[in-house]
Amino acid sequence: MTTATLGSAVRSGFQRWQFWLLLLVLGLLSVMLVQAMAEEDMDRYGLENTSLDGYAALAQVLADQGVTLHPATSAQTAEELMQQHPEAALAVLSRGDVPDEEFLERLRQGPDRPVVLLDESAQLVSALFLEAEVSYAGAHAGGGPMEEATLEAGAQCSIPAAVTAQDLRAPGALFYSEGPGCFTGFEDGTGPAQALVETPAGLLFGAPEAFSNHDITQVGNAALALSLFGEREELIWYTPMGLDALGAEDWASPTELLPGWVFPLAWWLLLCALVLMLVMGRRPGPVVGEPLPVRVPGAETAEGRGRMYQSANAVEASAQTLRSAHLIRLARLLRLGSAPAESSILEAAARQVRRDPAEVAELFGRRPRNNAELVAYAQALGTLEADAEHAVLTAHTRSRTVPARPEAPPDPAADPSPGPAADPLSDFQQNPPRNTQPDSQQGKNSSND
C-alpha cells in the first residue's frame, strides 16, 4: 500500500466515523469537567474529608450512633438550623475565623442547648470572652514519649465526657479558666492550663486534632468525641468562615479575588489570538482564476446522486426522480412539444405501446416502499420506455420504406418473332433494381430520431 493510498484510507475512515469520534471527545471532556467541578471536601477538619486531617471517621462514627449532622458554614445558616432544630446540640469549630458579633453575643448570653467550642488558637477565645474569664495559656505539643504527650483527665475533673475518656493524646491549645477543667498540661502562678474547660458559653476544647482521622484512635480520643457530640440525636456543626466577619462595605469584587497573573495572561492570549487571526486571514497575492484541469462526465454526477439517495435511503425521492426522467424522455420520443401535461404523455405512451391507459397511469402512480420495490419499479419504467422507443422506430422505418415496382404483363400484340438476345449488363445499367431496404443514411437518421 502506497503512502497516498494509506492517507486516502485514513481520511475516508475519519469521515465515516467523525461523528462518533466527536461524540466520544465531547463525552470525555464532559466527564473531566464534572470531575474538575466536583466539590470534594479537602478542608482541614472537614466532615467529608477522608485525608489524615479530616473528620470523615468522626462523622461516620456519629452516624452509626444515630446522630444526624447538620453542617453550617455561616452564622445565618447556623441560626436557621438552631430555630429548625431547637433540641439539637451545637458544635462551633474555629480554624482561625470567628463568627459575627451577633452570633458571639448569643453565645455570651448563655446556651440553651449543649455547646462545644473547638479552637486550637486564641482567636475565638479573645473574641468571645471580653472580660478574660477564659484566656489562652499556650500550646501542648502532643508529641514525644507517650507519658509526656498524653494528658490525663485528673482528679479535679468534673466534666463527664473527660471522665469517660480518662486520657487525651493530641497537639492543641491550653486555656486558663475560672471554671472547672480537665487534661492539665502545666500549672503556674495563674492557675492550671487545661485542654478542656467549662465556660459560660459552653465547653471549650483546645485540641480538635484529637478527632482527626489520624489521631482519633489514640488512647481515649474516640470516647471523648462520642461523649461530647453524641449527647443529642441531632448536631449542628458550625464552621465559621471569614465572610461572617465582613460587613456589606467589606465585600470585594470578583476581580479582586483573582490571582495577579490572570490579567497579564488574558491580555497575552488576546494578543496571540489577534496575531493568529491576521496570519490565517492574510492573502499572499491576487486571486487567480484558472479553469479546472478535468471534465466531470454527467454519468459520474448521476451515479453520485444515486449513491447519495441510497445512503440516505430516500426511496420516495428516487422514485420521483425516475418518474420525472422517464416522462421527459417519453415526451421527447413521442414529439409532444416542450411542456406537455403528464396525462397527455401517459395516453400517448399507452397508445404507442398498445397498452391500457389505466395500466400506464397506475405504473406512474405507484409508490415503492423499499429498495426491492424501487428496483422492480425502475425495471418496469425502463421496459415501458424501451417498448415505446421500439414502437416509434418500427413505425418510422415503415414510413420510410419504398415498395418494389411490379413487372408489366407481356403484351400479346407484340411481335412473337425472336429478336436478338438481350445483354444483361446493359439491361442492368439501363434499369437498375430498386432497393427495398432503407439506405444506411436513412437507417442512421431513423436511429437518431
Helix (H, G, I), strand (E, B) or coil at 298: helix
195 and 168 Cβ atoms separated by less than 8 Å:
yes
| Per-residue model confidence as pLDDT tens digits over 225-244 | 999 998 899 999 999 886 66
Average pLDDT score over the chain: 79
Whole-prediction pTM? 0.50
Helix (H, G, I), strand (E, B) or coil at 393: helix
Helix (H, G, I), strand (E, B) or coil at 28: helix
Q: What does the radius of gyration of the chain's CA atoms come to, in whole angstroms? A: 52
DSSP β-ladder status, 68-72 and 89-94: unpaired
Q: Please tell me the distance from the alpha carbon of residue 47 to that of residue 234, in angstroms, as a whole number.
A: 15
Q: Dmax over Cα atoms in the chain, in whole Å?
A: 183
Q: Of the ranges 91-95, 137-141, 146-150, 414-418, which one carries the lowest mean pLDDT score?
A: 414-418
pLDDT band at 19 (very low <50, low <70, confident <90, very high): confident
Beta bridge partners of 149: none
Q: Please tell me the distance from the alpha carbon of residue 227 to that of residue 222, in angstroms, as a whole number.
A: 9
What was the pLDDT predicted at 3?
Answer: 55
Beta bridge partners of 174: 138
Dihedral over Cα of 317, 323, 329, 331: its sign: negative
Q: Please tell me the distance from the alpha carbon of residue 226 to that of residue 232, in angstroms, as a whole number.
A: 10
Task: Count CB atoms within 10 A of the CB of residue 126.
Answer: 15
| Per-residue model confidence as pLDDT tens digits over 378-404 | 999 999 999 999 988 888 787 776 455
Q: Which of 385, 366, 386 shows the shortest CA–CA distance to 376?
A: 366
Q: Which residue has the higher pLDDT, 276 or 441?
A: 276
Spell out the domain ranges in the chain: 56-245, 307-400
140 and 196 Cβ atoms separated by less than 8 Å:
no
Q: Which of 49, 92, 40 shows the shortest CA–CA distance to 213?
A: 49
| Per-residue model confidence as pLDDT tens digits over 29-55 | 877 776 655 555 578 888 888 888 889
Q: Please tell me the distance from the alpha carbon of residue 170 to that of residue 290, in angstroms, as a whole number.
A: 85
Q: Please tell me the distance from the alpha carbon of residue 69 to that of residue 232, in angstroms, as a whole number.
A: 11
